[in-house]
Structure 1
Amino acid sequence: MMKKPLFFGAILFTLATLAWPLQTPEQFLGFKPGSDRNLAHYNQIKAYFEQLSRESPRLKTFTLGKTTLGNDLFMAVISNESNLKELEKYTNITRKLAQGEVEAAAAEQLAASGKAIVFVTCNLHSTEIASTQMAMELGYLLAAGTGGDIQDILENVILVLFPSVNPDGQIMEVEWYNKTKGTEYEGTGTPYLYHWYAGHDNNRDWFKISLKETELIVKELYQKWFPQILVDEHQMGSSSDRFFIPPYQDPPTPGVHPLVWRTINLIGSRIGYDLEKLNLKGVASRGYFTGWWIGSLDDSAWFHNIPGILFEGASTRLASPIYIEPEEVESGESFKNEERIFSPNPWKGGWWRLSDLVTYDLQATLSVLNSAARQRKELLFNTYQIARESITKGESEAPYAFIVPRQQHDPTAAERFIRILLKSNIRVFQLTHPLRVGDTMFDKRSYVVPLAQPYRAFVKNIFENQHYPDIRKNLKAEPELPYDMAAWTLPVGMGIKSVPVNEPLKAMMEPVQAAHFAINPFPEELEEYIVLDSRANHSYRAAFELLGKGKTVYRNIDCPDFSSGSFLVKKSEALEILKSIHSEAPLTLTSRKKLSLQQLRRLRPFKVGLYQNWGHNMTEGWLRYVFDEYKIPYETV
């Protein structure tokens, strides 16, 4: 008896969808995205996508969590209605392929039945605003679902779209632009960091995973969706090429699978071809952007076997147009802006507008989606092939593993390092029995990171030292400098001891999961004088927090009974506060029944003034991050 009303309701929904076409971004905003001196605010963009999700069966929105400043970080998932109803099925397929969990014949079948997943991330750097405006146009085109190419994309591709990776900064920049519009400061960036802590360095965090936004997106990338392509959309200086696309400039980072580079080159070349057909001038490859780096969003994807595609469009003054004289234009391929193989149609100057950037971003993104639709099965099987070859290589070539010994200068720092690996979906194990490797004995509970795993390239690049190649135009020329950081060995940066294993490893061990790091119980049997080991970073947080709450804290100067620099507090005064701290930041505690305070120094609360200049001081931002994490009191001046 209930079937007729439900069926009738479905008819009404279908008729309503057909009768009232979707509202365009221009109708929703009152201006066309990309038009001169107009910017859509993040909250408007979010509201528009939420409206599309209510009105179109081809788009869903998901809120991942809160940003550093408490805004919602959302994404839109776009495909045809049938695919959206079976997202779990398709993410299970990409997971099995990306993790190399099945045999080749089964992988062929999965690739044939799966959908290519494409991540598109916009506005990581908040002054690079065009992609946020473009995202609304892209969302509308796909949600409306009209046109043959669009239908092919919706049938074969699942798009995961982030209109802004850094909502806090997008809000800052739009509100600053609107505040200064019509003044001499129109088009300037904010006079403060557009990420609360990192500023421009939020695109240096994708292997360390320090920021909230990074952690939320990395989880989607490497734990849930396992995409076949990632596109990260940026902007660059105003007087260079109009639009950069891969192939990248040499050198490549060692260890990235050749199929990743070949796929990047293939997709990038197709973008160039498609943009050329539209007579979009100034599209160039190679230039300034190299394949040597791990810290940025698109680059970190390479080490997870994902072709990471970078767009870099020439900037305007936010939404204000600029005029570039012909002699000002300097291509990354030719300082005279002449025709080159990778820049065959140079832009010769003139007016440059936000609408131009939106057009380039939109057409390039559609080109990637069309490539994904055309080569869906091949891209999916490549995911599997690279994973299996990485596992096989890890089984047959040294190093076979890296061991992180239990004994560390700061055991909690080692645990933090292991957590970072787990967030990047790296397989980590823990010894259940002692292990001898050569002349070295490793205790039970030491960590083992094998190389026989899908993301072998990431493991090698995190643990091993990098050596930037000596690249010169000739023997007499100066070496060419790297575009960004030349090395990124994370154990070195975190003060973690690790040991390579250069022989096949046979060990009794068990897998480590995130739940493994449940906080150890607070020690019950503590004497009156509690010692906080100075070698443990969390001891400093405890000392600052106790001082901030008016408690007495001593520091060891000459006492030989425990390590120099360690902190000491009285149980009767500090116990409850220490328990609270331990629940968030595990403490390394010992205690003494009696102790002479003559060899200790009582600490006094102090004031810190943290200088914040007018502009983008990322050193100040990261220092503020450390101060906040360790509860160091400060005032910004």
Structure 2
Amino acid sequence: MKNHLKTPVFLFLISVFVLNTFSSIAQNKITSPEEFFGFQMGADYKLARWDKIVNYFYELEKQSDKIKVTNLGPSSEGHPFLLLLISSSENMANLDRLQTINKKIGDPRGVSEDSLKAYIKEGKAVIFESMSLHASEVGGTQMSPELAYDLLTKDDEETQRILDNVLFFMVPCFNPDGQVMITDWYNETVGTDYEGLSMPYLYHKYCGHDNNRDGDYLNLQESRYMAKAMYVDWQPQAYVDHHHMGSYGARFYVPPYCDPIRPYADPLVWRELSWYGAHIAYKLEEDGFQGVLNAAQYAGWGHFGWHWITPFHNIAGMLTESATANYATPVYVHPEQLRANTRGFPEYEAQSTFSNPWPGGWWHLRDIVAQQKSSAWSILDLAARNKETVLKTAVIKAQNQTKRGAEDNVKTLVIPAEQHDYLTATKMINKLLQSGLEIKKANKQFVAENRVFGAGSYVISLAQPKMGLIKNLLTETHYADNSWTRSENGVPYRPYDLATHTMYEFMGVNVEGLHSDLISDFPILQELENVPGTVEKGNSGYWIDGKQNAAFLVVNLLQNEKIQIKRVDKAFEGLHPGDFIIEKAPAEKLNEIAVKTGLSFLPLSKIEQEKIHTVKRGRTGLFQRYYGGNMDEGWTRLCFENFGFDYTTLMSEEIKEGSLKKKYDVIVLPSDRAEAITGDLKGQNKLEAEEYPEKYRSGIGKEGVEALKEFVKKGGTLVTFGNSFEFAADAFNLKVADVTNGLKSTEWFCPGSTLKVDFDNTQPLAYGMPDEGVVLNFSSPAFEVVPGRHNDDYTTIVRYKDKSLLKSGWLIGEKTVAKKQAMLSVKYGEGEVVLIGFRTQHRNQTDATFKLLFNTIIR
């Protein structure tokens, strides 16, 4: 009987145990990417779309306490911008404490050595990795669900060490808008004749491929999210950005960079890149990957995008570059198609940094996903194994840089309150604050080194951890000119991007250097600056300062309200050419605009009508094309929108229809090749263009050229930037030559440098500009009027100085452009063609020359 009674009880207990076990398993079961998406990440002909990927990460968050998903906000076009944190549940419960430690390690000023030792022992390595910043480089975002899944489900010693010792922040898609565009484009074309073709328009509303050039100016919403996370909230010890490169070289580039390197980073940063890179390369080889290259191809002096600017934040900033496929369509590479011939990689042969060449064959998206996951994991593994070394090195870098700043010849930078454009100076300060710099603001007038600085001046000590960033952005810099940057016969190697990224010069802000450490009790800025605009009425109304870029935003807002505005042509009563006058306007509207823009409406005592004219805002068309789009056009859109300019996107077909003067007063041609504007493509470019569906081909053709000529003859203004000059010169038969045309790089070479110029601010197109300044020349045309019967039709607006042209960057052959025109206007019928040779609105960064564009529209 006992046995009879025992059996049911035993079976019952077993069943309860089994049910509880299965219930526990069910609660802890984590959905794999393959289960969720229905295919393996990187599978041929399959791309997971961003909205589905977002849902997957939120599903993981429900299933595990080791992942935290944060939506930092909407992208430029409204998609979620996610930041993931993956770490142990214990670390997740202790984030406030760990963040405090992270900040002390990143900026150890005033912290005792004993406290720092304790922080190093208690703290965790903070690692950031971002994926698919370039949306066409799909591998990183496709890899990210699998990387997260592996970290959450593996239970081996290595994984546990990572979770225990690392706070891993992952941006699974740096460009959500582009990811959606690319995925939709690929899905639309897969299985058709157009499968694998690059998308015909920009894969970001404003910048396309250029979003990795925004780690300093933070013009894009996505950049501001990243900056707050990585420059302010958490300072990582290492950061890696996962990219793709061409299909016909190495299979995978990993750190470190090759030479030259940009100055002012702590030397330990460059050692760290070699350390991390060696570990990544070793683990890739261990895992059987071929074709891995390091210490070649990508130089340590690059643009100031994310992986190249982070070393100056004392972060080991790196990138990986995978050989690409045609999105999710595999490519076949013949052995003879494999090429090298780049920095540190002269031939496609085995070398110490490329010990295992890939022989060719099929290349799949899955290959990219696998190698990127291996590299991403390796960074975490090395940091976890050496957590205390990583944190100790972070402290040393911050201390070293602070000491270097304190001992530098220039120890303090002052941004005086008195500026040509004080609101742009404030805008620059806010960009620097978003980059995590310590900035003080003078609450009273002060004297330093026999100079008087007004209240409201900003003071930046170089004795702080991000000294290297300050030196690069706010002091004159020069690109290396040595054996790393020239061939044996003296031919210069082009920098990866610009030769300088001197923010203060681009933005036209005056920065004064002091040789002493300015000791003051001025308060440290704790939040972004907000300049309050004021409104004060005079006997004849109001005036606003035409030197301020923000004046054009104010004018556009007033014009939207149908408020009449006048502009000064000759000085009177303290006003200067370019200032704006408002005689009558509702006070409440002016107050609203003053608060919004920070610009003050000043009292106008009297008006001299013969010295002013009524402002007309031109109806503006901005030319856009296909064949991958034009980044200069995208950035121009952002510039227009930031300053309230209405514009219409103008495509080839509308231009060819003619009658343009009925709709437009101003047409802008962003910098582009003449054949890309006309559609008269030749050779390989023509063959590639003809691969696209008819609706995605562009070019204005002969009909469009005639339509533009008619537009200008009837009183329109055609504005050309940079290389679009060639189109205008040919189409309009202008008697203007580009003096740089056809020269060898040993004769003329200006790869993104600031050059000194004179502005003729008596001309309406240069109203509001200073007498002299700098412009950004990026292999830009410089003009010379060919002698003829109508020389008086050509008016110089901006002219290069006669000598000592270079301010920052690299310049060879200054005599080529000395005293030549940088910008001019040409009469044509009743209208004009405006030729702006330099980068007047380059990436929405060159605020110093925005007015030269704005003045073509506000006349």
Same fold (TM over 0.5): yes
Paired with 1:526 and 1:160, the residues of 2 have a C-alpha distance of: 56
Mean Cα deviation higher: 381-390 or 43-52: 381-390
Rate the CA distance shift 1:396–1:618 in 2: closer, same or farther, 3 A.
same
Contact 2:546 2:580 in 1 (8 A): yes
Equivalent residue, structure 1, for 2:530:
518
Candidates 573, 583, 598, aligned match of 2:610 = 598
Equivalent residue, structure 2, for 1:551:
563
Candidates 136, 142, 146, aligned match of 1:133 = 142
Question: Secondary structure of 1:121's partner?
Answer: strand
Query: Shift of the alpha carbon at 1:494?
Result: 0.3
Letter in 2 for 1:581: I
Letter in 1 for 2:209: H
Letter in 2 for 1:72: P
Candidates 637, 643, 648, aligned match of 1:630 = 643
Partner deviation per Cα, 1:264-293 (whole Å, 9 max, x = no partner): 110101111110111200100122211113
Partner deviation per Cα, 1:574-633 (whole Å, 9 max, x = no partner): 533332222221113212244233321112232111001102201101111111011111
Paired with 2:560 and 2:533, the residues of 1 have a C-alpha distance of: 25
Mean Cα deviation higher: 491-500 or 104-113: 104-113
Instruction: Note the aligned Cα RMSD (angstroms).
Output: 1.8
Paired with 2:66 and 2:394, the residues of 1 have a C-alpha distance of: 26
Aligned residues: 625
Query: Shift of the alpha carbon at 1:176?
Result: 0.8
Rate the CA distance shift 1:464–1:12 in 2: closer, same or farther, 3 A.
farther
Paired with 1:587 and 1:212, the residues of 2 have a C-alpha distance of: 24
Partner deviation per Cα, 1:53-77 (whole Å, 9 max, x = no partner): 0011111101111111111111111
The answer for unaligned runs of 5 or more in structure 2 is: 1-18, 651-859
Indicate yes or no: 2:464 matched with 1:453.
yes
Contact 1:432 1:508 in 2 (8 A): no
Partner deviation per Cα, 1:407-454 (whole Å, 9 max, x = no partner): 100110111111111111101112234333334222222111100111
Contact 1:542 1:578 in 2 (8 A): no
Letter in 1 for 2:592: S
Candidates 69, 77, 80, aligned match of 1:72 = 80
The answer for unaligned runs of 5 or more in structure 1 is: 1-10
Paired with 2:408 and 2:20, the residues of 1 have a C-alpha distance of: 62
Paired with 2:255 and 2:525, the residues of 1 have a C-alpha distance of: 37
Query: Shift of the alpha carbon at 1:12?
Result: 7.6
Query: Shift of the alpha carbon at 1:469?
Result: 1.4
Paired with 2:25 and 2:534, the residues of 1 have a C-alpha distance of: 59
Indicate yes or no: 2:373 matched with 1:365.
no
Paired with 1:251 and 1:565, the residues of 2 have a C-alpha distance of: 44
Contact 2:566 2:615 in 1 (8 A): yes
Rate the CA distance shift 1:503–1:19 in 2: closer, same or farther, 3 A.
closer
Contact 1:471 1:479 in 2 (8 A): no
Paired with 2:601 and 2:620, the residues of 1 have a C-alpha distance of: 28
Equivalent residue, structure 1, for 2:353:
342
Indicate yes or no: 2:392 matched with 1:381.
yes
Mean Cα deviation higher: 43-52 or 62-71: 62-71
Paired with 2:596 and 2:117, the residues of 1 have a C-alpha distance of: 46
Equivalent residue, structure 1, for 2:599:
587
Rate the CA distance shift 1:576–1:232 in 2: closer, same or farther, 3 A.
same
Paired with 1:13 and 1:114, the residues of 2 have a C-alpha distance of: 36
Indicate yes or no: 2:120 matched with 1:111.
yes
Query: Shift of the alpha carbon at 1:202?
Result: 0.7
Paired with 1:13 and 1:92, the residues of 2 have a C-alpha distance of: 39
Query: Shift of the alpha carbon at 1:550?
Result: 2.0
Rate the CA distance shift 1:288–1:556 in 2: closer, same or farther, 3 A.
same
Indicate the structure whose relative CO is greater, using CA pairs within 8 Å and at least 6 residues apart.
1
Paired with 2:480 and 2:22, the residues of 1 have a C-alpha distance of: 60
Indicate yes or no: 2:590 matched with 1:578.
yes
Query: Shift of the alpha carbon at 1:557?
Result: 1.1
Paired with 2:81 and 2:539, the residues of 1 have a C-alpha distance of: 47
Partner deviation per Cα, 1:477-534 (whole Å, 9 max, x = no partner): 412221221101110000000011112323452212225x234253355555211110
Query: Shift of the alpha carbon at 1:162?
Result: 0.8
Paired with 2:423 and 2:243, the residues of 1 have a C-alpha distance of: 36
Indicate yes or no: 2:199 matched with 1:187.
no
Mean Cα deviation higher: 142-151 or 119-128: 142-151
Question: Secondary structure of 1:531's partner?
Answer: strand
Letter in 1 for 2:481: D
Contact 2:536 2:542 in 1 (8 A): no
Letter in 2 for 1:469: A
Equivalent residue, structure 2, for 1:568:
581
Indicate yes or no: 2:442 matched with 1:431.
yes
Paired with 1:17 and 1:84, the residues of 2 have a C-alpha distance of: 22
Contact 1:558 1:599 in 2 (8 A): yes
Name the TM-score, length of structure 2 as normaliser.
0.71
Contact 1:111 1:381 in 2 (8 A): yes
Question: Secondary structure of 1:631's partner?
Answer: coil
Indicate yes or no: 2:519 matched with 1:506.
yes
Query: Which has more radius of gyration?
Result: 2
Rate the CA distance shift 1:555–1:14 in 2: closer, same or farther, 3 A.
farther
Rate the CA distance shift 1:401–1:178 in 2: closer, same or farther, 3 A.
same
**What does 1:173-322 correspond to in 2, within 5 Å?**
173-293=182-302, 295-322=304-331
Equivalent residue, structure 2, for 1:151:
160
Letter in 2 for 1:276: E
Letter in 1 for 2:68: K
Paired with 2:466 and 2:23, the residues of 1 have a C-alpha distance of: 48
Contact 1:187 1:318 in 2 (8 A): yes
Indicate yes or no: 2:507 matched with 1:481.
no
Candidates 518, 543, 552, aligned match of 1:540 = 552
Query: Shift of the alpha carbon at 1:327?
Result: 1.0
Question: Secondary structure of 2:314's partner?
Answer: coil
Question: Secondary structure of 2:297's partner?
Answer: strand
Indicate yes or no: 2:413 matched with 1:402.
yes
Letter in 2 for 1:603: V
Paired with 1:375 and 1:606, the residues of 2 have a C-alpha distance of: 61
Query: Shift of the alpha carbon at 1:261?
Result: 0.8
Rate the CA distance shift 1:302–1:548 in 2: closer, same or farther, 3 A.
same
Contact 1:470 1:480 in 2 (8 A): no
Paired with 1:151 and 1:352, the residues of 2 have a C-alpha distance of: 33
Equivalent residue, structure 2, for 1:85:
93
Equivalent residue, structure 1, for 2:61:
53
Partner deviation per Cα, 1:299-319 (whole Å, 9 max, x = no partner): 111011010121010111111
Query: Shift of the alpha carbon at 1:380?
Result: 0.9
Question: Secondary structure of 1:583's partner?
Answer: helix
Paired with 2:471 and 2:327, the residues of 1 have a C-alpha distance of: 40
Question: Secondary structure of 1:393's partner?
Answer: helix
Equivalent residue, structure 2, for 1:3:
none
Contact 1:471 1:480 in 2 (8 A): no
Name the % identity.
32
Equivalent residue, structure 2, for 1:467:
478
Mean Cα deviation higher: 349-358 or 472-481: 472-481
Paired with 1:521 and 1:487, the residues of 2 have a C-alpha distance of: 34
Name the TM-score, length of structure 1 as normaliser.
0.95
Paired with 1:17 and 1:232, the residues of 2 have a C-alpha distance of: 36
Contact 2:535 2:602 in 1 (8 A): no
Letter in 1 for 2:581: L
